[in-house]
């Protein structure tokens, strides 16, 4: 009897049926809905979730990706990746600024993650592995907690799994677009495209890997161009300096814990002297990297410490981060054994399937994102890609134990060099055209920003001069001279100059920032005097004069050299400098 022909190397895996995938998705939605009902009925977003929520509201109301964080004025921001707040903002346009709609949207995304994880596992190990992986993702406690709050983790996992699935199906163009979107959704994905390209070199060759990187570049370059034009830096995000300083700065090392460079008093001078996102990010990044160059042993030491918290070996160290991320600590504590079991089984499953290209890719992906967190900020919610990789590995282990080996054996795939070279040349030309367009738009933006600054200066210069004219303060008087709304206009000009500064040319930026800083100090000095005058209980006395405030102010100022002296306050040094600098801008 003749044996049947062997299946080709590229034979597709059997698939999980649509009803089963639907059941997995419905089960995931039910579990996450129960979590919301049990623990989040009175949820209010904090920290990162609050920022995403506010950015989405700004997008929904037509203001774009703008925020006051981490300063006091509204400005275009790149501190958070754009994709999630833009998608959420589109949802808010339909539902209103509804926090519940954001939570339910993430629940749906979480169910999609379950389906995609099942598809990825099926591609590697067959339907049994796929069903098991989908179940593990649906019940993984850390993933449940991520899928019920307005954070970018759920959308990032959808994109990540979609990219992995496209790569396994040799749809590398789709994979490149998806990886580019992932880089616009998750800060730690900034170098993920390089990892994928290295995997592709071995599997499909250099040319397709180069094409992949060029397509990724086409996806992310418009956002980078926007940041260069509006924020003042050609980066994906302006949070890299924050993350480095939060963990490696001298303050963080002294306290052996996360510090917030945007709130901590130890960074007050840095924040004051770098009042734009781009300059503050650069200052934090450069100072921290300089410190690390002299203390390289800090990196492995921090990674060891982060690993204890990241992998729940010391859950108590995660308490603050978990509360800020909206997680219920009781639920987390009760379900920790589930995480340990799935993670352990997953690592064993991925290690056992290491000969399969898809398993290698999933394992490398989990390792990459885990390492990216361990090197900087290692909050447990950032472990999501590692958790999903473990769920897929656990599904593969279940299939192995049950003897199900109906996985797709995918061999190397090659493509003719000639057509690939032409495609790469076309992509390169597209990137060059995009770069040229960016240069033109950047030059136009500089002209527009200069015109806007000139208009703002002409509008508010009289108010600045009026404030300066109130000095020197007559300390024999009973009250401060009236500024008749000048302070509000000074505050408006101050915010406008700082918001426009990143968009100005290199030569015009320093005078604008210097004028804005002087305006801020002038406003603060006059406000300080006004508050001391209003709060003084002696002001009702017939003998009260402003000179009576001198002793009290000097006593409360103490030795804080960052505050002006009484003489500087009443002489109006800051207001006079502000008037001089704004007049200089008007002349320019």
Residue 218: in which H helix or E strand, if any? helix 206-226
DSSP character string of 258-302: ---TTT-GGGHHHHHH--SHHHHHHHHHHHHHHHHHH-TTHHHHH
> What pLDDT shows up at residue 342?
95
pTM here is 0.89
Residue 75: in which H helix or E strand, if any? strand 75-76
Rounded CA-CA distance 567/564 in Å is 8
Residue 66: in which H helix or E strand, if any? strand 66-67
Q: For the segment 272-331, what is each residue's pLDDT rounded down to a tens digit?
A: 888 899 999 999 999 899 888 888 888 998 899 889 989 988 877 788 888 888 888 889
Rounded CA-CA distance 450/458 in Å is 12
Q: For the segment 5-32, what is each residue's pLDDT rounded down to a tens digit?
A: 443 334 444 678 889 999 999 999 999 9
**Three-state SS sequence of 6-62:** CCCCCCCCCCCCHHHHHHHHHHHHHHHHHHHHHHCCCCCCCHHHHHHHHHHHHHHCC
276's CB contacts (< 8 A; 6+ apart) are 71, 75, 231, 232, 498, 501, 502, 513
pLDDT band at 417 (very low <50, low <70, confident <90, very high): low
> What pLDDT shows up at residue 533?
81
Rounded CA-CA distance 264/136 in Å is 40
Q: Check if the beta carbon of residue 314 is closer than 8 Å to that of residue 308.
A: yes
Q: Is 412 left (phi over 0), alpha (psi -120 to 50) or beta?
A: beta
Rounded CA-CA distance 176/166 in Å is 9
Q: For the segment 34-87, what is each residue's pLDDT rounded down to a tens digit?
A: 999 999 988 999 889 999 999 999 999 999 999 998 888 899 999 999 999 999
SS3 category, 349: helix
Given a cut of 80, whether residue 246 has pLDDT beyond it is yes
Phi then psi for residue 67, to 5 deg, are -160, 160
The separation between CA 347 and the C-alpha centre of its own chain, rounded to angstroms, equals 28
Rounded CA-CA distance 580/517 in Å is 12
Give the mean pLDDT of 210-238. Answer: 94
Share of the chain above pLDDT 90, in %: 57
Q: For the segment 464-506, what is each residue's pLDDT rounded down to a tens digit?
A: 999 988 888 888 888 888 877 888 899 999 999 999 999 998 8
> What pLDDT shows up at residue 174?
95
Rounded CA-CA distance 520/535 in Å is 22
> What pLDDT shows up at residue 75?
92
The separation between CA 90 and the C-alpha centre of its own chain, rounded to angstroms, equals 19
DSSP character string of 381-446: GGGHHHHHHHHHHHHHHHHHHTT-------------HHHHHHHHHHHHHHHHHHHHHHHHHHHHHH
Q: Return the closest-CA partner of residue 235 out of 199, 201, 284.
A: 284
Could you give the angle at the alpha carbon of 200 between the alpha carbons of 197 and 202, nearest 5°? Answer: 120
Mean pLDDT score of the chain, rounded to an integer? 88
Strand partners for 75: 67
Which one of 258-262, 289-293, 360-364, 574-578 scores highest in mean pLDDT? 360-364
Distances (CA, A) of 505 to 224, 276, 282: 18, 15, 18
């Amino acid at each position: 009897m003749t044996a049947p022909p062997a299946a080709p190397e590229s034979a597709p895996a059997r698939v999980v049926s649509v009803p089963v995938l639907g059941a997995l998705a419905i089960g995931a939605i039910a579990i996450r809905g129960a979590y919301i009902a049990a623990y989040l009925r009175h949820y209010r977003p904090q920290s990162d979730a609050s920022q995403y929520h506010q950015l989405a509201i700004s997008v929904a109301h037509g203001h774009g990706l703008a925020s006051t964080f981490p300063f006091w004025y509204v400005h275009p921001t790149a501190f958070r990746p754009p994709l999630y707040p833009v998608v959420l903002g589109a949802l808010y346009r339909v539902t209103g600024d509804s926090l519940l709609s954001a939570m339910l949207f993430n629940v749906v995304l979480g169910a999609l993650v379950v389906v995609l994880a099942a598809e990825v596992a099926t591609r590697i190990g067959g339907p049994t592995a796929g069903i098991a992986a989908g179940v593990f993702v649906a019940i993984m406690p850390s993933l449940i907690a991520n899928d019920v709050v307005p954070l970018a983790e759920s959308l990032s996992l959808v994109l990540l799994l979609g990219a992995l699935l496209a790569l396994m199906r040799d749809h590398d163009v789709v994979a490149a677009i998806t990886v580019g979107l992932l880089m616009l959704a998750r800060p730690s994905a900034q170098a993920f495209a390089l990892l994928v390209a290295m995997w592709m070199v071995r599997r499909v060759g250099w040319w397709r890997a180069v094409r992949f990187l060029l397509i990724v570049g086409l996806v992310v370059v418009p956002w980078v161009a926007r940041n260069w034009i509006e924020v003042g830096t050609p980066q994906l995000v302006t949070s890299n300096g924050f993350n480095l300083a939060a963990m490696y700065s001298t303050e963080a090392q002294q306290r052996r814990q996360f510090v917030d460079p945007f709130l901590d008093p130890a960074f007050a001078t840095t924040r004051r002297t770098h009042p734009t996102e781009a300059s503050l990010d650069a200052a934090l990044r450069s100072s921290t990297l300089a410190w690390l160059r002299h203390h390289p042993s800090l990196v492995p030491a921090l990674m060891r410490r982060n690993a204890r918290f990241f992998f729940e070996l010391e859950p108590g160290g995660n308490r603050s981060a978990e509360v800020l991320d909206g997680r219920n600590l009781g639920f987390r504590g009760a379900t920790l054994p589930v995480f340990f079991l799935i993670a352990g089984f997953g690592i064993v499953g991925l290690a056992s399937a290491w000969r399969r290209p898809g398993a290698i890719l999933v394992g490398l992906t989990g390792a990459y994102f885990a390492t990216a967190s361990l090197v900087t900020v290692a909050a447990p919610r950032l472990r999501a890609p590692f958790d999903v990789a473990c769920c897929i590995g656990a599904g593969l282990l279940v299939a192995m134990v049950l003897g199900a080996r109906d996985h797709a054996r995918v061999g190397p795939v090659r493509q003719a060099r000639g057509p690939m070279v032409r495609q790469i040349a076309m992509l390169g030309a597209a990137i060059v055209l995009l770069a040229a367009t960016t240069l033109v738009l950047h030059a136009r933006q500089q002209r527009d920003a200069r015109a806007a600054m000139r208009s703002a200066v002409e509008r508010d210069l009289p108010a600045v001069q009026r404030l300066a004219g109130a000095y020197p303060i007559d300390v024999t008087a009973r009250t401060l001279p009236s500024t008749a709304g000048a302070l509000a206009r000074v505050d408006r000009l101050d915010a406008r100059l700082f918001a426009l500064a990143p968009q100005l040319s290199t030569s015009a930026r320093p005078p604008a920032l210097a004028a804005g800083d002087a305006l801020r100090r002038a406003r603060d000095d006059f406000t300080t005097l006004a508050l001391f005058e209003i709060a003084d209980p002696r002001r009702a006395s017939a003998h009260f004069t402003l000179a009576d405030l001198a002793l009290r102010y000097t006593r409360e100022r103490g030795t804080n050299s960052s505050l002006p002296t009484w003489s500087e306050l009443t002489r109006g040094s800051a207001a006079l400098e502000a008037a001089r600098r704004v007049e200089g801008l008007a002349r320019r």
